[in-house]
Amino acid sequence: MSQDARVETFVTAFEALRAEVEKVIVGHREIITHVLTSMFAGGHVLLEGVPGLGKTLLIKTLAEGLELSFSRVQFTPDLMPADIIGTNIIVEDGDGRKHFQFQQGPIFAHILLSDEINRATPKTQSALLEGMQEGAVTVGGVSRPLPAPFFVLATQNPIEMEGTYPLPEAQLDRFLFKLRVRYPAIDELNAIIDRTTRSQQVTVSRVMSGPTVLSFRELIREVPIASHVRDFASTIVMATHPSWASSPEVTRRFVRYGASPRGAQALVLGGKVRALAEGRYNVSVEDIKALATPALRHRVILNFEGEAEGVDADTLVGQVVEAAEAITASGKEVFLR
Amino acid sequence: MAHPQAIEVLVRRVARQVGVRRAEHWGLRGAFWGALLAAAVLAFKAVLGLAALVLAPALVLLGALAGAAYGLARRVAPRDAARLADRAFGLADRVATALEWADHPDRTPLVDALVADTVARVLALEPRQIVRRVIPLEGRWLPAPLLAGLVLALAPAIHLPTGTILDFTPSAEQEQHEDRASTEMTAERSRPLPRDPLKRPSFEERDFAQRTGTGSGSTAGDLSAIFKDTALSNQRPDFNSFLKKGDERLRLLEQVDRLPDLQSDFTTTQYKMVFRKSKSLMSGLSPDISPQKLRELLDEMERLGRKGGNWSSDASEGMDALEGGQTDRALEAMQRALDKMRAMEEAGRSGKSLRGGRENERGARGRERARGGEGVGPEDQDFGEGEGLLPGKGRSTMPKGDPTARVRGNPYDVGVEGESRRGRKDGYDTNLTGRAGSMPSRLMYLGVVGQYRKMMEDAITREQVPRDYHDQIRNYFQALDER
């Protein structure tokens, strides 16, 4: 298959999957695109939004559109790591001998929906760490690989914070994107009412298999990126660090810790998916700019002043991107002078 | 793989456009400076003659050409040209990426597709000027020197002044005049001192006989007579009167031990100097104290201590601590040495400082009390400055103060009630209830208010209070005073 055909196949599959999800989910096109981008980039997504905006429905619909196994875990304060990973239980064989057998937990699925992830204790939240990063879990000293592709979609509610355990930075950093689900517009709300109050139910077709997703992931990593685009992504990440010499004033004033190298990886990998989804063979500066907010908003830790001033991470990242643009443009773009 | 020749052609074309724009940019700058030079040359047209008219335009042309040549000679990086092309034609970094990855060793199969796609898009482009013109500041101001040059070229030549150097050697007449002037200046200097404002009027009355009219030496039109013909010119101190009256100052001279030590300038004592230096050392913007400056200060303190002070050991200890990198210990040692310096200076002054009369009286009373002398009544048992009447200012170590002698027992077992009298008064009589009901008390109202007023003025002087509040605070105290 020629390269053009491979890219064309990806674009078609991407559009088809998005169309299937959009059969159920009204609006939120950008959220859906980012979720698909994250899935093809091999990352995980944290969806944040108030109840009733369709976060869980979006993920369930996506799972229905893929020929992949799906598990859902409702995170609660009494949930234990073994409830997610699984545990060894004693079983008796035909000869009457007893032995330990590993009983897989819900994490052993292609798509794992961690609903209201911030309601579980940090101990339970940490049970996901190894699986999200390594694609494997260790139980009783034995490492057990998770099925590929493995994709965690977590949701959290930003307003009911009582009795919750905010995700630690190490856990947040493992999510490729953090997406904020906004309230729908009035026409979208009307469409939601129409779709959900009728007798006929919408059926979602399975348009993509697991191996297809894996092959697309390989294709995505072949997308070339120019050095100045890569420099731009690095500059954005560095500009979130208050200790960096060229970081903007807003970072120095409000940020305690900047984004990790995973942030730069998220920008570039996401940029590659975005480019390919648009039928382009290379990553552009615009791709990086478009993904900066979802990729970095959860990786920038505000300091006390930032928290006290109520600084919005999205606004801060936007200003960081502008600063990075000015930094990378100096000496390169103004060569006429 | 599609040949990226089309991409290279596009990049070269853009680079050429950049070169042309740079030539324009630098040419304008060169022309401006050339025009300035040309205007200067034309200003000397009278000297240079016809050559100026030829040289001036040549300079403008030369500046423009030199600038353009410099602009053209500057290299345009292909990557920059490619990025410019990407932005100008909306190619989303395709050209820059294809150019970079076309010969990359880690080229992936997608790169071939990228190059082919980019070539196809580049071939579809219509060539156009994509590099915008950037006019430098000199370019905007270029008409000014050009116009000035034109005016200078058309205007008649400016003849430069050909004067000789002035002869500054004094002539005989001038020397004579200076002699006379210097005599007058000498006379002016020997004029008696101006009137002493402290001198009593009676002195002047007694001195009338000694005054003689002056002005006999002045002639009409002699302005110096204004200065000569004054009453002050002949006024002399009346020593006879001074001796007869037995001036207070004479009595003061008899009490040598109470004379203020006016010869010593306490503002420039060793302690003050060292204290000022130490303060400047520790009051910098940076929290780090310079060890070098601290060492210099300690060295100076040790030197001063060797001349007759007892703080040398502290200064030495501080220097040792500083050598060991213990800045805190060095600072503590310096503080101890400073305290000793101050104590020695206080001892050296031995009451000869410039103190007020009331303070002296109080000091005398205090000394008398210390000797256990009689005749010190309750009215004289006044507290010192900043003592007694203010909370925490007395000699007691208790933060709430000691009970007064008249109210024995629990100091809080009293209540104050009463009605203030109308009009201004020094104190308020209060009636006490409870165990001390039969013992009236007198609160020194004006004394308390006065002390707080003094503290307020100090605070305002030291700029501890925002300027906007000054009037408000003063008005408040004024209102208290008027009660």
What's the CATH number where A244 sits?
A: 1.10.8.80
- The reply to whether A209 falls in a domain is no
| Closest chain B C-alpha to A290 CA, distance in angstroms | 13
- The reply to whether A214 falls in a domain is no
Q: Is the pLDDT of residue B372 over 50?
A: no
Which residue from B minimizes the CA distance to A5? B113
Please check whether residues A199 and A239 belong to one and the same domain: no
Please check whether residues A117 and A173 belong to one and the same domain: yes
Residues of B in contact with A3 (CB under 8 A): 109-110, 112-113
Please check whether residues A181 and A288 belong to one and the same domain: no
Mutation site for B-interface testing, chosen from A268, A276, A282, A288 by largest number of B Cβ within 10 Å? A282
For residue A231, the 8-state DSSP code is H
Pairing label, strands A175-180, B428-434: unpaired
Q: Is the pLDDT of residue B160 over 50?
A: yes
Mean of the per-residue pLDDT values of chain B: 70
Strand partners, A283: A225
Contact A228 B131 (CB under 8 A): no
Q: Which of A105-114, A157-166, A187-196 has the weakest average pLDDT?
A: A157-166
| Closest chain B C-alpha to A14 CA, distance in angstroms | 18
- The reply to whether A23 falls in a domain is yes
Containing A113, the helix (H) or strand (E) segment is strand A111-115
* Token pair of A306 as six digits: 């930032």
Contact A3 B110 (CB under 8 A): yes
- Least CB–CB distance from A332: residue in B18, B80, B93: B80
- Least CB–CB distance from B134: residue in A225, A281, A337: A337
| Closest chain B C-alpha to A283 CA, distance in angstroms | 7
Strand partners, B415: B433
Contact A229 B117 (CB under 8 A): no
Is B54 within 8 Å of B84 (Cβ atoms)? no
Q: Which of B259, B256, B282, B272 is nearest to B344 (CA)?
A: B272
Query: Which structural domain, as residue segments, surrounds residue A236?
Result: 223-337
Q: Say if B113 is an interface residue toward chain A (CB within 8 Å).
A: yes
How far is residue A55's CA from residue A74's CA, in Å, rounded to a whole number?
Answer: 13
Q: Which of A198, A195, A207 is nearest to A64 (CA)?
A: A207
pLDDT digits (tens, 9 = 90+) for B176-195: 555 554 444 444 444 555 55
- The reply to whether A250 falls in a domain is yes
φ and ψ at B123, to 5 degrees? Answer: -65, -25
Is B163 within 8 Å of B54 (Cβ atoms)? no
Strand partners, B416: B432
**How far, in whole angstroms, is CA A70 from its chain's centroid?**
16
Contact A282 B97 (CB under 8 A): yes
Give the ranges where A154-260 is alpha helix by DSSP (H). 169-173, 186-196, 210-221, 227-238, 249-254
Q: Say if B204 is an interface residue toward chain A (CB within 8 Å).
A: no
Last residue of a domain, one of A203, A232, A266: A203
Residues of B in contact with A284 (CB under 8 A): 92-94
Contact A222 B93 (CB under 8 A): no
Long-range contacts of A30-35 (CB under 8 A, 24+ apart): A31/A58, A31/A179, A31/A181, A32/A58, A33/A277, A34/A177, A34/A179, A34/A291, A34/A294, A35/A59, A35/A62, A35/A153, A35/A177, A35/A179
Write out the DSSP string of B346-405.
HHHHTT-S---HHHHHHHHHHHHHHTT-S---GGG----TT-SSSTT-SS-SSTT-PPPS
pLDDT band at B249 (very low <50, low <70, confident <90, very high): low
Structure ipTM: 0.82
* Dihedral angle, C-alpha A113, A114, A115, A119, nearest 10 °: 180
Q: Tell me if residue A197 falls in helix, strand or coil.
A: coil
Containing B414, the helix (H) or strand (E) segment is strand B414-417
Q: Say if A229 is an interface residue toward chain B (CB within 8 Å).
A: yes
φ and ψ at B125, to 5 degrees? Answer: -75, 150
Rounded alpha-carbon distances, angstroms, from residue A175 to A62, A151, A266, A271, B385:
18, 10, 9, 16, 71
| Closest chain A C-alpha to B80 CA, distance in angstroms | 7
Which residue from A minimizes the CA distance to B84? A333
- Least CB–CB distance from B93: residue in A4, A284, A333: A284
Please check whether residues A193 and A302 belong to one and the same domain: no
Q: Which of B288-302, B379-393, B448-462 has the weakest average pLDDT?
A: B379-393
Is A233 within 8 Å of A265 (Cβ atoms)? no
Please check whether residues A160 and A303 belong to one and the same domain: no
Please check whether residues A98 and A167 belong to one and the same domain: yes
Q: Is the pLDDT of residue B198 over 60?
A: no
How far is residue A254's CA from residue A303's CA, in Å, rounded to a whole number?
Answer: 6
pLDDT band at B245 (very low <50, low <70, confident <90, very high): low
A136 CB-near residues (< 8 Å, 6+ apart): A130, A143, A144, A145, A146
| Closest chain B C-alpha to A266 CA, distance in angstroms | 19
Write out the DSSP string of A86-101.
EEEEEEE-TTS-EEEE
- Residue whose token pair is 């409870």: B434
- Least CB–CB distance from B93: residue in A2, A3, A229: A229
Mutation site for A-interface testing, chosen from B20, B29, B110, B137 by largest number of A Cβ within 10 Å? B110
pLDDT at B246: 56
- The reply to whether A216 falls in a domain is no
- The reply to whether A210 falls in a domain is no
Contact A226 B114 (CB under 8 A): no
Residues of B in contact with A216 (CB under 8 A): none
Express the helix, strand and coil content of chain B in percent, nearest 5 each.
60, 5, 35
Q: Which of A76, A84, A49, A45 is nearest to A62 (CA)?
A: A45
B201 versus B441: which is more confidently predicted? B441
For residue B424, the 8-state DSSP code is -
Contact A332 B83 (CB under 8 A): yes
Residues of A in contact with B108 (CB under 8 A): 222-224
φ and ψ at B222, to 5 degrees? Answer: -85, 105
Contact A337 B76 (CB under 8 A): no
Q: Tell me what percent of the residues of chain A surpass a pLDDT of 90.
A: 52
Torsional sign, CA B447, B453, B459, B465: positive
How far is residue B122's CA from residue B116's CA, in Å, rounded to a whole number?
Answer: 10
Q: Say if B114 is an interface residue toward chain A (CB within 8 Å).
A: yes
- Least CB–CB distance from B100: residue in A2, A226, A281: A226
pLDDT digits (tens, 9 = 90+) for B42-95: 888 888 778 888 888 899 999 999 999 998 888 888 888 888 888 888 888 999
- Least CB–CB distance from B110: residue in A229, A281, A286: A281
A118 versus B443: which is more confidently predicted? A118
- CA triple A270-A273-A274, angle to 5 deg: 85
Which residue from A minimizes the CA distance to B104? A224
pLDDT digits (tens, 9 = 90+) for A217-270: 999 999 999 999 999 999 999 999 999 998 999 999 999 999 999 999 999 999
- Greatest mean pLDDT range, A58-62, B176-180, B205-209: A58-62
| Closest chain A C-alpha to B480 CA, distance in angstroms | 43
B257 versus A263: which is more confidently predicted? A263
pLDDT at B355: 45
Classify the phi-psi angles of A336: left when phi > 0, otherwise alpha if psi is within -120 to 50, otherwise beta.
Answer: alpha
**Residues of B numbered 5-34 whose beta carbons fall under 8 angstroms of chain A's beta carbons: which are they?**
18, 21-22, 25
Q: Look at chain A and report how many structural domains it folds into.
A: 2
Mean of the per-residue pLDDT values of chain A: 89
What size, in residues, is chain A?
A: 337
| Closest chain A C-alpha to B58 CA, distance in angstroms | 26
Is B295 within 8 Å of B322 (Cβ atoms)? yes
A207 versus B243: which is more confidently predicted? A207
Please check whether residues A88 and A160 belong to one and the same domain: yes
Half-sphere CA count of B199, side-chain side, radius 13 A = 18
Is A178 within 8 Å of A294 (Cβ atoms)? yes
- Greatest mean pLDDT range, A315-319, B102-106, B126-130, B348-352: A315-319
- Greatest mean pLDDT range, B76-90, B369-383, B388-402: B76-90
A75 versus B398: which is more confidently predicted? A75
pLDDT at B194: 55
Rounded alpha-carbon distances, angstroms, from residue B126 to B90, B117, B162:
13, 16, 67
Report the 10 Å Cβ neighbour count for A314.
15
- Residue whose token pair is 């034109």: B150
- Residue whose token pair is 């050392």: B281
Which residue from B minimizes the CA distance to A229? B93
- Least CB–CB distance from B114: residue in A227, A282, A337: A282
Please check whether residues A129 and A229 belong to one and the same domain: no
pLDDT at A201: 75
Rounded alpha-carbon distances, angstroms, from residue A143 to A105, A125, A192:
14, 19, 44
pLDDT at B417: 46
Please check whether residues A176 and A237 belong to one and the same domain: no
Pairing label, strands A208-209, A66-67: parallel
- CA triple A187-A191-A196, angle to 5 deg: 150
The beta strand positions in B180-233, using DSSP E, are: none
- The reply to whether A234 falls in a domain is yes
* Mean pLDDT of all residues in B249-268: 58
How far is residue B79's CA from residue B95's CA, in Å, rounded to a whole number?
Answer: 9
Q: Tell me if residue B417 falls in helix, strand or coil.
A: strand
How far is residue B58's CA from residue B34's CA, in Å, rounded to a whole number?
Answer: 8
Q: Say if B1 is an interface residue toward chain A (CB within 8 Å).
A: no
Q: Say if A279 is an interface residue toward chain B (CB within 8 Å).
A: no
Q: Is the pLDDT of residue A79 over 50?
A: yes
Q: Which of A175-184, B190-199, B373-382, B456-465 has the weakest average pLDDT?
A: B373-382
Q: Tell me what percent of the residues of chain B surpass a pLDDT of 90.
A: 7
pLDDT at B360: 46
* Token pair of B69 as six digits: 């040549």
Contact B94 A283 (CB under 8 A): no
Please check whether residues A18 and A152 belong to one and the same domain: yes
Q: Tell me if residue A224 falls in helix, strand or coil.
A: coil
B292 versus B61: which is more confidently predicted? B61
How far is residue B328's CA from residue B336's CA, in Å, rounded to a whole number?
Answer: 13
pLDDT at A141: 83
* Token pair of A255 as six digits: 């940020």
Contact A224 B104 (CB under 8 A): yes
How far is residue B364's CA from residue B77's CA, in Å, rounded to a whole number?
Answer: 91
Q: Say if A284 is an interface residue toward chain B (CB within 8 Å).
A: yes
Which residue from A minimizes the CA distance to B17? A336
* Mean pLDDT of all residues in A142-155: 90
- The reply to whether A217 falls in a domain is no
Q: Which of A90-94, A114-118, B129-133 has the weakest average pLDDT?
A: B129-133
Last residue of a domain, one of A203, A236, A271: A203
* CB neighbour burial string for B12-30, b if at least 16 within 10 angstroms, e if fewer: eebbebbbbbbbbbbbbbb
| Closest chain B C-alpha to A281 CA, distance in angstroms | 5
How far is residue A76's CA from residue B382's CA, in Å, rounded to a whole number?
Answer: 76
* Mean pLDDT of all residues in B133-155: 88
Q: Say if A222 is an interface residue toward chain B (CB within 8 Å).
A: yes
- Least CB–CB distance from A282: residue in B22, B77, B94: B94
- Least CB–CB distance from A280: residue in B77, B92, B100: B92
Strand partners, A103: A87
How far is residue A88's CA from residue A137's CA, in Å, rounded to a whole number?
Answer: 13
Q: What is the CATH number of the domain that holds A65?
A: 3.40.50.300
| Closest chain A C-alpha to B15 CA, distance in angstroms | 11
Mutation site for B-interface testing, chosen from A232, A272, A281 by largest number of B Cβ within 10 Å? A281
Contact A222 B131 (CB under 8 A): no
Q: Is the pLDDT of residue B197 over 80?
A: no
Contact B25 A226 (CB under 8 A): no
